[in-house]
């Protein structure tokens, strides 16, 4: 319900991209396999955190950056750029790798983090750029797009959290040396990657009744749901078909890294140099998260940890994990919450049906209910693609704040009782909602169960995301040209 090959070929001589005069003079026209007119500018891969955290990271990373990676074309065939890696039918440019490397070095220096060898850092960054290109290509194939309405909503949230008006955002960005149009493009791209993760990972996670009962039992001894924790993480990955010798070697490396961290070496530097996680360039930082938002593997480890403690390596299907509890701060428990009772119909886009087609389908369904008198629950049971509610006629039961994603809750806030929304889009797909009622209610076991279900699914998303990224990488054609 709404609420994450190396080709083995003999290396070919590195191709050089030259400026070739054309009638249009479009930058990047010599690049093969690209549908856009200029090389894409990349920052960092979307992590399985909240969108706001991703946006904040973009804000920090964009400060002081140049606003275009494309170099000026010349009429005399001057060398423009080199290819660092070929990724399926796209490329990662050497200029992108250089720029990312300088930005990461500057950020690590600002954080007073000791730098690993430059070649190690460049290798980590190149692999991240490759993974971003793979995800962007998949999102393009699936037709995943971020509408202007969704983008403006995210930018408005950025403005509000920085205590400025949405209309003043372009000027505020300009004062930091950022171009508003470039910033919009980057936020749209980060949101697109998050939508891809929601589609491929989050929406496919199943929670069994037994898992739910065990999870609720663990919560009694878990970190405070309302406290916030700042955690860092190192992953030493293990190949899916690893031999016993490979597993033993990875376990030995994880133990060595743990011993170095426990002996006083900088955890962030170790993460940058050795971690295989998508958070390695950030020094392994997972950021601030409430206890209820922590992946189960993290919460199980830090429940008994104190600030500064480092966990022993923990084995999961993706590899060996090491965690450090950096800081923690308390929260406030609410006993009474405002709840809404709603039902919805969810449809998703696919290779054959794009956003416009799915939106029109839902508009037609809404018309049949509102004007034709057809039963909402009956239609939801046979058409909705939400496996968690379709069998119940789309019924979502009573739910409090934070149960649904922000776009979903915003639509609920606008509805009066029994009103049906127009079709709208979230990370899970396209919806129509009918509001059935509102109430103020004490937190009950049923509410805790519903929240536990959402938390358990999100806690499984981090591990599933790592496995998903590995599958995408294994299926991709990648040839390094460095």
Tokens read off for 370: 């509102």
Percent of the chain with pLDDT over 70: 79
Q: What one-character DSSP code corresponds to residue 421? A: P
Q: What is the pLDDT of residue 422?
A: 96
Q: Which residues contact 72 (CB under 8 A, 6 or more apart)?
A: 19, 27
Give residue 443's pLDDT band: very low, low, confident or very high (50, 70, 90).
low
The pLDDT of 431-449, averaged and rounded, is 82
pLDDT, tens only, 72-96: 444 555 556 789 999 999 999 988 8
Q: Which of 8-17, 64-73, 243-252 has the highest mean pLDDT?
A: 243-252
Q: What is the pLDDT of residue 285?
A: 87
Mean of per-residue pLDDT scores for the chain: 79
Q: What is the pLDDT of residue 413?
A: 93
Question: First vs last Cα of the chain: how many Å apart?
Answer: 44
C-alpha atoms less than 13 angstroms from C-alpha of 299 in its C-beta half-sphere: 27
The domains located in the chain, with CATH, are 16-200 (1.10.4030.10), 209-333+452-469 (3.10.50.40), 336-442 (3.10.50.40)
Distance CA 359, CA 354 (A): 9
Q: What is the pLDDT of residue 447?
A: 63
Distance CA 476, CA 150 (A): 30
Q: Which residues contact 94 (CB under 8 A, 6 or more apart)?
A: 81, 82, 83, 84, 482
Give residue 437's pLDDT band: very low, low, confident or very high (50, 70, 90).
very high
Percent of the chain with pLDDT over 90: 30
Is 12 a residue whose pLDDT tops 80?
A: no
Using alpha carbons, select from 344, 353, 447 the residue that is nearest to residue 403: 447
pLDDT, tens only, 22-56: 333 333 322 223 333 333 333 333 333 444 444 44
Tell me the torsion sign for CA atoms 321, 274, 14, 65: positive
Q: What is the pLDDT of residue 45?
A: 35
Which of 352 and 17 is assigned the larger pLDDT?
352
The pLDDT of 223-250, averaged and rounded, is 84
Q: What is the pLDDT of residue 135?
A: 93
pLDDT, tens only, 308-333: 889 889 888 888 999 998 888 764 44
Which of 196 and 63 is assigned the larger pLDDT?
196
Lowest mean pLDDT among 41-45, 129-133, 364-368, 469-473: 41-45
Is 21 a residue whose pLDDT tops 70?
A: no
Give residue 290's pLDDT band: very low, low, confident or very high (50, 70, 90).
confident
List, as one string, the DSSP characters of 273-312: HH--STTGGGTTEEEEEEGGGS-HHHHHHHTT--TT-BPP
Q: What is the pLDDT of residue 282?
A: 85
């Amino acid at each position: 319900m709404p609420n994450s090959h190396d080709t083995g070929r003999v290396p070919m001589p590195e191709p050089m991209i030259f400026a070739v005069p054309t009638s249009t003079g479009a930058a990047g026209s010599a690049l093969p396999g690209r549908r856009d007119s200029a090389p894409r500018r990349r920052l960092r891969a979307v992590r399985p955190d909240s969108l706001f955290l991703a946006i904040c990271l973009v804000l920090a990373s964009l400060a002081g950056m140049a606003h275009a990676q494309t170099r000026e074309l010349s009429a005399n065939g001057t060398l423009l750029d080199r290819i660092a890696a070929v990724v399926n039918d796209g490329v990662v440019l050497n200029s992108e790798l250089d720029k990312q490397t300088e930005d990461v070095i500057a950020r690590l220096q600002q954080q007073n983090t000791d730098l690993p060898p430059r070649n190690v850092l460049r290798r980590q960054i190149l692999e991240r750029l490759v993974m971003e290109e793979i995800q962007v290509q998949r999102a393009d194939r699936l037709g995943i797009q971020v509408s202007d309405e969704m983008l403006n909503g995210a930018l408005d949230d950025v403005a509000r959290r920085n205590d400025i008006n949405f209309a003043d955002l372009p000027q505020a960005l300009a004062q930091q040396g950022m171009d508003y149009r470039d910033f919009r493009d980057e936020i749209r791209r980060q949101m697109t990657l998050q939508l891809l993760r929601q589609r491929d990972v989050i929406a496919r996670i199943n929670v069994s009744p037994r898992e739910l009962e065990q999870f609720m039992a663990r919560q009694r001894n878990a970190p405070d749901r309302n406290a916030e924790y700042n955690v860092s993480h190192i992953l030493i990955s293990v190949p899916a078909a690893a031999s016993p010798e490979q597993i033993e070697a990875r376990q030995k490396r994880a133990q060595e890294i743990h011993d170095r961290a426990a002996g006083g070496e900088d955890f962030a530097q170790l993460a940058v140099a050795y971690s295989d996680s998508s958070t390695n360039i950030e020094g392994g930082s997972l950021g601030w998260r409430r206890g209820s938002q922590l992946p189960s593997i993290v919460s199980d480890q830090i429940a008994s940890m104190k600030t500064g403690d480092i966990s022993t390596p923990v084995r999961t299907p993706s590899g060996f994990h090491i965690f450090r509890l950096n800081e923690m701060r308390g929260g406030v428990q609410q006993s009474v919450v405002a709840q809404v009772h709603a039902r919805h119909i969810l449809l998703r886009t696919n290779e054959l049906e794009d956003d416009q087609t799915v939106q029109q389908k839902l508009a037609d369904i809404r018309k049949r209910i509102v004007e034709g008198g057809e039963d909402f629950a009956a239609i939801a049971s046979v058409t909705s693609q939400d496996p968690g509610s379709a069998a119940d006629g789309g019924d979502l039961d009573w739910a409090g704040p934070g149960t649904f994603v922000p776009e979903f809750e915003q639509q609920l806030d606008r509805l009066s009782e029994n009103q049906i929304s127009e079709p709208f889009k979230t990370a899970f797909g396209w919806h129509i909602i009918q509001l059935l009622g509102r109430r103020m209610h004490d937190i009950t076991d049923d509410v805790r169960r519903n929240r536990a279900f959402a938390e358990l699914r999100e806690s499984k998303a981090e591990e599933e995301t790592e496995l998903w990224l590995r599958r995408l990488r294994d299926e991709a054609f990648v040839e390094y040209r460095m």
